[in-house]
Amino acid sequence: MAKSYRIAILPGDGIGPEVTREAIETLRLIAEIRGFSLELTPYPFGAEHYMKTKETFPASALEEMRGQDAILLGAIGDPRLPVGLLERAIISGIRFGLDLYVNLRPIKLFAADLCPLKGKGPEHIDMMVVRENTEDVYAGIGGFLKKGTPDEVAVQEMIFTRKGVERVIRYAFDLARRRAKGRKLTLVDKANAVGAMDLWTRTFEEVGREYPDITREHAYIDAATMWCVKNPEWFDTVVTSNMFGDILTDLAAMIQGGLGVAASGNLHPGRVSLFEPIHGSAPKHAGKNVASPIGSILAAQMLLSYLGEPEGAELIEESVAELFATGKLRSAGTDSGVGTREQGEWVRQAVRRRASSPTKAC
Ligand code: IPM
Ligand code: MG
């Protein structure tokens, strides 16, 4: 019997729906080529839904998602609503609710033209950032005292647990081992200023002893941002805490061609996991057919790879790489001159051609 995958679709706000549509069409094409089927369940959560119903993200939806194979998310956020309301309820709600403790962010440059750094090409930029995804300042431990008065105090705790730190570090070592490249793992922290990060340093050393084949490196977050621009080739696999990973991966996305091309997976290995482009909802570009769907299409590619469909994932990645490498697509920004729909169609044309070419027939 043909395999079937149940995927929750959460297009969300702004450019989310239009980029997600291209990712879904690409997924459908791969399903047809590879002979599996898809059961897609759309969810309406986001700003419009909230404004109509006052519902952000109900517990029942999270429970339904638990029973799916994967979740594909577009983007969440709307300037008409209080800052972070939907992001915390939906994005953090799913990350924490499903305990998706790895935020995996591949940074790979497909063509030198996409990179704003002088003299850097695809051979210099190919890294995997493993961001911890359930702790740190995102854990929501904090609050206000005397709110709104001149004596106001605001506190937000940087929480790290031994279990939380260890499992993400272990994931990163395993990933470094699976990667063909450098067999090197770099810990990025700020242990010189944030004493609690000594837990990361110690855990990294202890777990690292079980991986003698992986070289251990270290960089403080401030230096890591500098190296990322100066010598990105220095990085192979990187592991870091939640907030530093958030910041580092926006910077890293720029050196691979911008937020339009960057994708991520929020994973709990072996369980339902969430895939999304790194970009946000970009409301000013919404509905204009100018947003790049590549980040979302590459999120779908990561989803397939996670579900155990590496051939389909590879078809997508090679097709995207080809569009940039041949110069057919020159930018992943809103200035590419190629519409959202057209870019999606170009990817699918390349996928069809690759799938039917004799060298790829097996
Ligand atoms: C990301 C985003 C989110 C984060 C926001 C939208 C809450 O920036 O996925 O990187 O900070 O994690
Ligand atoms: Mg971010």
pLDDT by residue for the chain (362 residues), tens only, comes to 789 999 999 999 999 999 999 999 999 999 999 999 999 999 999 999 999 999 999 999 999 999 999 999 999 999 999 999 999 999 999 999 999 999 999 999 999 999 999 999 999 999 999 999 999 999 999 999 999 999 999 999 999 999 999 999 999 999 999 997 879 999 999 999 999 999 999 999 999 999 999 999 999 999 999 999 999 999 999 999 999 999 999 999 999 999 999 999 999 999 999 999 999 999 999 999 999 999 999 999 999 999 999 999 999 999 999 999 999 999 989 988 999 999 999 999 999 999 998 664 44
Look at the alpha carbons of 242, 247, 248, 249 in this order and tell me if their dihedral is positive or negative: positive
CA of 135 to the centre of ligand 1 (A): 13
What's the 204 CA to ligand 1 centre distance in angstroms? Answer: 25
Compute the distance from residue 45 Cα to the ligand 1 centre, in Å: 17
Atom of ligand 1 nearest to the CA of 243: 11
- Distance from C-alpha of 109 to C-alpha of 126, rounded to nearest angstrom: 7
- 198 labelled catalytic: no
**Ligand 2 centroid to 291 CA: how many Å?**
18
- Which member of 43, 190, 220, 306 is catalytic? 190
Atom of ligand 1 nearest to the CA of 250: 10
Is residue 190 part of the annotated active site? The answer reads: yes
Burial of 89 (0-12, 13-18, 19+ CB in 10 A): middle
Active site residue 69: no
E-only strand ranges, the chain: 4-12, 37-42, 70-75, 102-108, 126-132, 142-145, 153-156, 184-189, 215-220, 237-240, 263-267, 273-277
Ligand 1 in contact with 13 (CB < 6 A)? no
Atom 7 in ligand 1: which residue has the minimum CA distance? 87
CB 265 within 8 A of CB 155: no
Q: Tell me the C-alpha distance between 256 and 344, whole Å.
A: 19
233, 294, 333, 336, 345 from 339: Cα distances, Å: 32, 11, 11, 8, 10
Q: Whose CA is nearest to atom 8 of ligand 1?
A: 246
Residue whose CA is at the smallest distance from ligand 1 atom 6? 87
From 5, 50, 101, 138, active-site residue? 138
What's the gap in Å between 214 CA and the centre of ligand 2? 28
Q: Is 321 exposed, middle or buried (0-12, 13-18, 19+ CB in 10 A)?
A: middle
Cβ of 91 less than 6 Å from ligand 1: yes
Judge whether 136 counts as a catalytic residue. no
Q: What residues contact 89, with CB distance under 8 A and at least 6 apart?
A: 56, 57
For 227, counting Cβ atoms within 10 Å of its Cβ (0-12 exposed, 13-18 middle, 19+ buried), the class is middle
Quick one: pLDDT at residue 359?
Answer: 62
pTM of the model: 0.96
Ligand 1 midpoint to CA 37 (Å): 31
- In degrees, rounded to 5, the angle at the alpha carbon of residue 282 between the alpha carbons of residues 279 and 283 is 155
- Other C-beta atoms closer than 10 Å to the C-beta of 67 total 10
Atom of ligand 1 nearest to the CA of 133: 12
Q: At what angle do helices 310-325 and 294-306 cross, to 10 degrees?
A: 150
For residue 31 and ligand 1, the question of a CB distance below 6 A is answered with: no
Q: Is 5 assigned a catalytic role?
A: no
Which residue's CA is minimally distant from atom 4 of ligand 1?
246
Mode of pairing for the β-strands spanning 102-108 and 126-132: antiparallel
Q: How far apart are CA 327 and CA 109, in angstroms?
A: 13
Catalytic residue among 146, 222, 328, 335: 222
Q: Hey, what are 222's tokens?
A: 């401030």
Closest CA to 171 of 133, 140, 136, 221: 133
Structural contact between residues 249 and 278, judged by C-beta atoms closer than 8 angstroms: yes
What pLDDT, on a 0 to 100 scale, did the predictor assign at position 362? 45
* Number of neighbours of residue 7 by Cβ within 10 angstroms: 22
CA distance 267 to 292: 24
Q: From atom 5 of ligand 1, which residue's Cα is the shortest distance away?
A: 87
Q: Pseudo-torsion of CA 318, 249, 74, 303, nearest 10°?
A: 50
User: Is the minimum distance from the CB of 246 to ligand 1 under 6 angstroms?
Assistant: yes
Closest ligand, as measured to the CA of 274: 1
Q: Which ligand is nearest to the CA of 280?
A: 1
Coil vs helix vs strand at 358: helix
Alpha-helix residue ranges (DSSP H) falling in 119-260: 162-178, 198-208, 221-230, 242-255
Contacts of 148 (CB under 8 A, 6+ apart): none
Residue type, 76: I
Secondary-structure breakdown of the chain: helix, strand, coil percentages, each rounded to the nearest 5: 45, 20, 35
List Cβ neighbours of 12 (8 Å cut-off, separation of 6 or more): 20, 45, 46, 73, 74, 75, 76, 90, 281
